[in-house]
Amino acid sequence: MTARRDWLKNAATLGAAAGTGLLLGKAQAQASSATAKPKAAAANATASTASAASTAAPTPNTRTWQNWSAIHQCKPEQWLVPADEAELAAALPRAKAPLRAVGAGHSFNPLVPTVGTLISLDRLSGTPVVDKQNLTVRVGAGMRIGVLARALDAQGYALYNQPDIDVQTLAGALSTATHGTGQTLPALHAEVQALRLVSPDGRVHECSRAKNPDLFDAARVSLGALGVITEYTLRIRPRYMLRRHVWLERTEELLARAPELAAKHRHFELYVLPFTGFSAGITHDEGAAATAQPPEAADENVLRDLRRLRDWFGRWPALRRWAAARLINPAQTEAAFDWSWRLLSTSRPTRFNESEYHLPREAGIAGLREVLATLEKRNEVFFPMEFRFIRADHAWLSPFYERDTCSVAAHALQGEDYAYLISELGPVFRKHGGRPHWGKLHDLKQAELQALYPRFADFQTLRRELDPQGRMLNTHLQQIFGANHG
């Protein structure tokens, strides 16, 4: 009993050390997704730029590449760092296969590793060219999302939506169907109006809804299996400000209200805090331009506290819930008001591994409940789960192809076991009709994927036309699309 009293005393100390207790305001929302906001707008821009540099692919001189979470590495025989599309087109036919393009390395699946040629898109970025009449921007595929967002903001424009990580290259994010949240808002690839792609034989293909429409719908989400995309034209809009509201609520109560909240707000998402009985709700809505009220400086206190609760009470889940209930203060809320790009994306100091599936919207809440119940059978779990809403689109391999979706994401701290994200959560996701996020952990193979994607066979036909020898397929993509041809 003495030892248990000491543990409880330490748990209370954890809450006091966090400054205002567990999970307050934006600190909760950001730290619960392993994020941290800079203290001011200028710091935000600087931090994002630094983050982009730190997660970029290593220089070719190092010969070794690894992804952001360090679970995948490779030593390619050759690096290509083309300065422009013409240089890339000339090099691809002679380059050693498998040919794989690399951006920021934020995929948890082995989409990139190759013993052949690794193609860095870092120099294929250029300067965004805004068409003010048509409200579009033409931009190199290697540009980072955050850099584009800031460049657009400087000219008075913005992206319609952003994913919560902005250090990814456009090509990497779009090719894996990376998304933000918003019941009426599709993933970023749905805003693509045109693109340019270099196939393995060096041919340059231009496509849009009007020109090569099949290739357009295939290439918007392609996993890098069709060739190397060099340029996008994206739909944009005048820049806008968002008002954020963050609060804590009992998980079951928040889940019951989630559909209503998603319909009411431009952006709604929630973070489920395992072994606490609580979740964090986050909304963003447009507001008339006014003086910005940036979020207060936030660190990773919440994630740290959740981890400490795990470390102290992991063997006693009931005691862990008891301690969490006394540290969490649901009366606390937090608000912020700022330009969209400053609120929609965050930096990620703490590294992790992640699995995410996209469930039919009508199955989203039930699927989330079952995933949570499965996770809470493992006492070592402490990372919050993320739940978001995404509108349907028409890209052939989009997980949101012709169905409105709820996404459920689960995380494991870098360096800790993550196999259960695949082996234990995967069957639950699939039971509820989930399609995997292409850049995150899953073990689905060709037959299973073909059953989930109505246009999978059409994609395969087009892929074989562009790459008859399978030169774009590394080991992972062979499992998805089948063995090389020719």
Where a domain ends, among 401, 420, 436? 436
The domain total for the chain is 3
Same domain assignment for residues 326 and 391: yes
> Where in the sequence is the domain holding 101, given as residue range(s)?
57-120
Nearby residues of 273 by Cβ (< 8 Å), 6 or more positions away: 23, 32, 251, 279, 280, 306, 324, 384
pLDDT band at 48 (very low <50, low <70, confident <90, very high): very low
- Within-domain flag for 172: yes
Nearby residues of 203 by Cβ (< 8 Å), 6 or more positions away: 89
* pLDDT digit string, tens, across residues 176-193: 999 999 999 999 999 999
Structure-token pair, residue 220: 């918007």
Residue 205 CB neighbours (<10 A): 18
Q: What pTM value is reported for the model?
A: 0.88
Same domain assignment for residues 351 and 276: yes
Same domain assignment for residues 170 and 90: no
Same domain assignment for residues 349 and 418: yes
The pLDDT assigned to 8 comes to: 34
The pLDDT assigned to 62 comes to: 56
- Residue 262, pLDDT > 70, answer yes
- Within-domain flag for 367: yes
Residue 149, CA distances (Å) to 25, 182, 348, 387, 398 in order? 25, 18, 18, 24, 23
The pLDDT assigned to 303 comes to: 85
Same domain assignment for residues 296 and 365: yes
Instruction: DSSP letter for 58, please.
Output: P
Same domain assignment for residues 187 and 72: no
pLDDT band at 327 (very low <50, low <70, confident <90, very high): confident
Same domain assignment for residues 73 and 204: no
Where a domain ends, among 81, 102, 120? 120
Same domain assignment for residues 61 and 20: no
Where a domain ends, among 417, 436, 455? 436
pLDDT band at 337 (very low <50, low <70, confident <90, very high): very high
Same domain assignment for residues 193 and 279: no
Same domain assignment for residues 86 and 186: no
- Within-domain flag for 452: no
* pLDDT digit string, tens, across residues 205-227: 999 999 999 999 999 999 999 99
Q: How many angstroms separate the CA atoms of 14 and 413, rounded? A: 20
How large is the average pLDDT for residues 444-449?
96
- Residue 142, pLDDT > 80, answer yes
Residue 332 CB neighbours (<10 A): 17
- Within-domain flag for 450: no
* pLDDT digit string, tens, across residues 344-384: 998 778 999 999 999 999 999 999 999 999 999 999 999 99
What residue type is assigned to position 339 of the chain?
Answer: W
* pLDDT digit string, tens, across residues 406-438: 999 999 999 999 999 999 999 999 999 999 999
Q: Are the beta carbons of 453 and 396 closer than 8 angstroms?
A: yes
The CATH number of whichever domain residue 415 belongs to comes to 3.30.70.2520
Q: Shortest CA distance to 237 belongs to which of 337, 131, 97, 329?
A: 131
The CATH number of whichever domain residue 191 belongs to comes to 3.30.465.10
pLDDT band at 298 (very low <50, low <70, confident <90, very high): low
